[in-house]
Amino acid sequence: MPWCEECSKFWSPNSVPKAGTCPTCGSELQGPLRDDEYLKAPWHFKVLVACAAVYLGWRFLQLFGVLA
């Protein structure tokens, strides 16, 4: 969400002009302005997903009594 430091307000991407300025005061907005910007997932989220996959795989094998 674009943020205006002068107005202390978030703006929706639809209400921001193409120039990337604040509609109220005209200062330059901070933050992502385009939808094509790629946000990278943090490393600990990837670890959480990997641990969840291992856990669910283990529980799936236990369902059929293969390992215990």
- Where do the structural domains in the chain lie, given as residue ranges? 1-34, 38-68
Q: Which residues contact 35 (CB under 8 A, 6 or more apart)?
A: 13
pTM of the model: 0.44
Return the residue matching tokens 């107005």. Answer: 7
Which among 30, 52, 32, 50 is positioned nearest to 40, based on CA atoms?
32
Which has the closest alpha carbon to 27: 47, 8, 45? 8
pLDDT tens string, the chain, 68 residues long: the values are 777 878 887 777 777 777 778 878 877 777 664 555 556 788 999 999 999 999 999 999 888 887 65
* Four-CA torsion 27, 30, 22, 6, nearest 10 degrees: -60
